[in-house]
Structure formats: structure tokens, C-alpha cells
């Protein structure tokens, strides 16, 4: 029996010898610590299953990837199946299905970064490290990835290390970064925090446990704010959009349906129309009505 199945079948395993490993694979002390963290995460949501995304980051902060025992732990805590946990974990690229390196080095090869040199950086790093996309160096230091736009196009080409920015990179500067990371040196990104943390440390932050460094360094640098600064200097403003126009537009768009967050909004009002279930249901009803009228 796999640990996933063992964990799902016996989430509350009592009567084990002291120090014995739990059915999900975590020893008692680790499981107790993770359970305390999980309870804190789950308490943030009205339904336990809504806590799955940060729970998966919590698992990665412990195991360095979404492990089988981590999947079983999530399922057990949240009262869902291991299949449901796996379905989510395999959908998002931030969740790793095999042990990740200490540092995820993501080279942006989306359009702008690619033409500004991202493709050349990728080729250089892949050859230098001897690994391809989503592969890890034998020493476990670096996992290399192609990544999509990181909303830092004004600093293209961009490399991310555990989601910290390395702006305006070149093949040579990117090789220097990975060599220093692999050598265990402290490496500072070009913006943001004063140093790069490990994949496990980053995962704990993504699980919702701040490390207190969110405000370190510069977030939006000169290229990002240049447009705003020019607009202020030259007195440029966006066209006005007064409250009456906004209210009229909202009323037209919603046809009297309560706005999100208001009483009887879609979050809690009873189902009254096919569209409440799915747009496809509404389309089927419309076709049916049309057929009756013809």
C-alpha cells in the first residue's frame, strides 16, 4: 500500500509505539508541528478545503516538494481525497512533484525577455549546468526552469531565484549567480530582499508565515515608476469617471444581481436560474426556449 493510501485510510492513527512513524510518513514530532501550522492556515478560510494551496506550500517547506506523504497529510487535514490534492498539485507549476533544488533558477523566456536576451541566457545556463527545464543539478543546489512573464518586463531580461528578481541579466551574469549559489555564497537579488533564501524557506513564506523581510530593499525601481513620475511632472491625468457613471455601469452590468460581498450575492444566495449553475446551463435553457417559440 502506498503512503498516500495509508494516510487516506487512517488519518487518525492512534496506538503506535512512541517514536514510530505515522501512517503518512511523518514522525510524531514533525506531524505535530505541521498540524499546528495547518490549523493556523485552515483557520483563515471559511471552508477547510480552501486552504489547500498554502497547505501545499507548507508541505514543500518541509519536504522540498509535494511528496506522497505531504499529499496524504493535506488530504487528512482538509477532509478531501488524495486524488483531489494531486489534481491541484499537478495543475500549478509552483508545486513540484519531485525533490527540488535548494534554489529554483527561473529564466524568463517569454516574448520580451526572450528577444532581449532571455533565450541566450537559457542556453548558456542549461549548457553550463548540464540540465534542462525542471531538472536539478546532481548536488541538489540548482533547479533550472523556463518561466513565463514575471511582470518585470521593464528590467528584461529577467532571471528569478526563488522568486527574487535578478534584473537586466546577461549570460555571463546569470552564470556568475548560479556559480555563487552552488558554492554556498550569500547572493543578493538586484531588487527586494537583501539575500536569496532557500526553496524551503520561500515555501514557508508562501504558506503564509512571513519571514519579516517583505519590506527589505527596493520593490518598484526607476524603470517601473518612470511613467508615473513623468505624468506628475507634466500634469497628465486619466479621464474622470464619476460616481454616477460608475453606479449606472454597475447596474447595467449586473441587472440587479447583488455585487460580490453584498447580502444575497452569488456566494450564498440559492440557485434560481441555470446561469447560477453554469454559463453552459444558461445557453442550453436559451436554446430550449428558442426552440419552443419557433
> Given the rule CB under 6 A, which residues bind ligand FES?
108, 110-113, 149-150, 152-153, 156, 158
Residue 274 CB neighbour total at 10 angstroms: 16
- Give Cβ neighbours of residue 81 (< 8 Å, ≥ 6 apart): 8, 75
Q: Between 150 and 198, name the residue whose CB sits nearer to ligand FES.
A: 150
Q: Which three cell numbers stand for residue 269?
A: 444566495
Q: Which three cell numbers stand for residue 147?
A: 518561466
Smallest separation (angstroms) from ligand FES to the CB of 53: 23
Smallest separation (angstroms) from ligand FES to the CB of 121: 11
Q: Between 84 and 167, name the residue whose CB sits nearer to ligand FES.
A: 167
Smallest separation (angstroms) from ligand FES to the CB of 96: 21
β-partners of residue 103 are 142
Smallest separation (angstroms) from ligand FES to the CB of 157: 7
Angstrom distances, CA of residue 96 to CA of 35, 45, 68, 107: 21, 24, 11, 17
SS3 220: coil
Q: Between 123 and 276, name the residue whose CB sits nearer to ligand FES.
A: 123
Smallest separation (angstroms) from ligand FES to the CB of 150: 4
Smallest separation (angstroms) from ligand FES to the CB of 245: 33
How far is 149 from 130, CA to CA, in rounded Å? 24
Q: Between 191 and 204, name the residue whose CB sits nearer to ligand FES.
A: 191
Q: Which ranges of the chain does DSSP label H, i.e. alpha helix?
A: 3-9, 28-42, 52-63, 68-78, 82-89, 111-113, 119-129, 171-182, 199-206, 222-234, 243-254, 274-277, 279-293
Q: Between 116 and 181, name the residue whose CB sits nearer to ligand FES.
A: 116
Q: Between 7 and 157, name the residue whose CB sits nearer to ligand FES.
A: 157
β-partners of residue 146 are 107
Instruction: Give the length of the chain.
Output: 294
Amino acid at each position: 500500500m502506498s503512503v498516500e493510501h495509508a494516510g487516506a485510510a487512517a488519518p487518525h492513527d492512534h496506538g503506535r509505539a512512541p517514536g514510530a512513524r505515522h501512517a503518512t510518513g511523518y514522525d510524531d514530532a514533525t506531524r505535530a508541528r505541521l498540524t499546528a501550522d495547518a490549523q493556523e492556515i485552515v483557520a483563515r478560510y471559511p471552508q477547510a478545503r480552501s486552504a489547500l494551496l498554502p497547505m501545499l506550500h507548507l508541505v514543500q517547506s518541509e519536504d522540498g516538494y509535494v511528496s506522497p506523504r505531504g499529499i496524504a497529510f493535506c488530504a487528512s487535514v482538509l477532509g478531501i481525497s488524495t486524488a483531489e490534492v494531486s489534481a491541484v498539485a499537478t495543475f500549478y507549476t509552483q508545486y513540484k512533484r519531485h525533490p527540488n533544488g535548494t534554489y529554483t533558477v527561473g529564466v524568463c523566456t517569454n516574448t520580451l525577455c526572450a528577444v532581449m536576451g532571455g533565450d541566450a541566457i537559457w542556453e548558456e545556463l542549461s549548457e553550463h549546468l548540464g540540465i534542462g527545464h525542471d531538472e536539478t543539478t546532481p548536488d541538489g543546489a540548482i533547479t533550472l526552469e523556463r518561466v513565463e512573464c514575471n511582470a518585470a518586463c521593464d528590467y528584461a531580461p529577467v532571471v528569478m531565484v526563488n522568486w527574487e528578481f535578478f534584473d537586466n541579466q546577461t549570460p555571463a551574469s546569470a552564470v556568475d549567480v548560479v556559480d555563487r549559489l552552488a558554492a554556498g555564497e550569500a547572493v543578493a537579488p538586484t531588487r527586494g530582499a537583501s539575500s536569496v533564501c532557500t526553496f524551503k524557506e520561500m515555501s514557508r513564506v508562501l504558506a503564509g508565515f512571513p519571514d519579516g523581510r517583505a519590506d527589505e530593499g527596493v520593490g518598484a525601481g526607476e524603470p517601473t515608476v518612470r511613467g508615473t513620475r513623468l505624468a506628475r511632472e507634466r500634469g497628465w491625468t486619466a479621464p474622470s469617471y464619476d460616481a454616477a457613471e460608475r453606479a449606472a455601469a454597475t447596474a447595467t452590468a449586473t441587472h440587479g444581481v447583488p455585487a460580490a460581498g453584498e447580502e444575497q450575492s452569488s456566494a450564498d444566495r440559492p440557485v434560481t436560474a441555470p446561469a447560477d449553475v453554469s454559463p453552459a446551463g444558461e445557453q442550453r435553457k436559451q436554446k430550449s426556449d428558442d426552440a419552443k417559440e419557433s
